[in-house]
Structure 1
Amino acid sequence: MAFFLGLGIVGIALLALSLIFDGILEGLFGLDGLLDGWLSLPVVAGFVSMLGFTGAIVLGTSELGAGAATAIGAATGAVAGWLTWKLSRALMREQSAVTPRGDDLVGAAGSVITAIPAEGYGEVLVRVAGQPVKLAAKSTMPVMRGTEIWVEANLSSTAVAVRPVER
């Protein structure tokens, strides 16, 4: 039983190392891309730890011998390794939406929060990618608070040129 518990502990230690030093071992030994998928460190760690702990449980709770404990541990280790592989692939595939850029503001609709004088800046609230964004705004004519506007140009990362919407 001590052998199986040792395997389980080694598997947990491998998993901790894979979380801390992710990709470093592959880079040190020139194995980039080789240890992806079924040979990745988290998958191997999941397999080894489940093999060890399941083998120890089988030995401690049943009359079965070491051979049966190894077989059952290997089967549960394979399932744990497969689940680890599927989960890591799902997490790696997850991608966020593209971050909006300044040019994405052009054409956005919004409203004036602080009146815009003819010579100076006011504030507008526009929606970019579904999120409200408060920006400094400049206009060629005075625009009153609450007026609907369109963004004509991006002046900087925090300022835009706007014009009132004519209806």
Structure 2
Amino acid sequence: MAWFLGFGIAGLALLVLSLVFDGLLEGLFDAFDGLVSLPVVAGFVSMLGFGGALVLGTTGLGAGAASAVGGLAGLGAGWLTWRASRALMRDRTAATPRGADLVGTSGAVVTAIPMDGYGEVLLRLGGQPVKYAARSGVPVERGAEVWVAAVPTPTSVEVQPVQR
């Protein structure tokens, strides 16, 4: 039983090492598409050891049967680890919002916009309120609703008042 517990503990140690040496085996065995990675090997070795120790300690079966059951449990754990890591590695996030995404959106004037200068508008970019310097062809009062016609710089916009 000591051998099986040793395998289980060694698998846990490999799992800790996989946090430190992330991607080490993946680079060496690139052709296997993540099947030979430290987390997969750690899952296999841990379940081989702990599964074998469980069978050996709770049943009257010998070391051969315990090894077989532990090996099957290890294959299952390794496969599940491989599938979970593939799913997590292929997860993609949404595109990062850019200033050009503001064109056509509406907002509110925070600081009045004079005819020949800048004011401020509050717009939503990626769901977050963001304040921009704003210019307009006509003077716009504070609190008026505007829509973005252009984004000349990353911190400024050209707006037009909304006519209702």
Report how far residue 128 of structure 1 moved: 3.0
Q: Deviations over 1:101-140 (max 9, x none)?
A: 2211122221212222223322212233444332222223
Report how far residue 42 of structure 1 moved: 1.1
Question: Is 1:144 equivalent to 2:141 in the alignment?
Answer: yes
Q: Deviations over 1:18-45 (max 9, x none)?
A: 2221124555xxx262353322221111
Q: Which residue of 1 aligns with 2:73?
A: 76
1:41 aligns with one of 38, 42, 45: 38
1:1-16 superposed matches below 5 A: 1-16=1-16
Give the alignment's TM-score, normalised by structure 1: 0.87
| Structure 1 stretches of at least 4 aligned residues deviating more than 4 Å after TM superposition | none
Report how far residue 51 of structure 1 moved: 0.6
Question: Is 1:96 equivalent to 2:93 in the alignment?
Answer: yes
Letter matched to residue 123 of structure 1: E
Give the share of equivalent positions with the same residue, in percent.
Answer: 66
Q: Please state whether the residue corresponding to 2:141 is helix, strand or coil.
A: coil
Residues matched between the structures, number = 164
Gaps of 5+ in 1: none
2:157 aligns with one of 156, 160, 166: 160
Question: Is 1:20 equivalent to 2:17 in the alignment?
Answer: no
On the 8 A contact 1:152/1:160 being kept in 2, the answer is yes
> RMSD value over aligned CA atoms?
1.9
Q: Please state whether the residue corresponding to 1:138 is helix, strand or coil.
A: strand
On the 8 A contact 1:108/1:128 being kept in 2, the answer is no
Letter matched to residue 4 of structure 1: F
CA distance in 2, matches of 1:32, 1:74: 22
Q: Deviations over 1:146-167 (max 9, x none)?
A: 2111112213222211111123
Give the alignment's TM-score, normalised by structure 2: 0.88
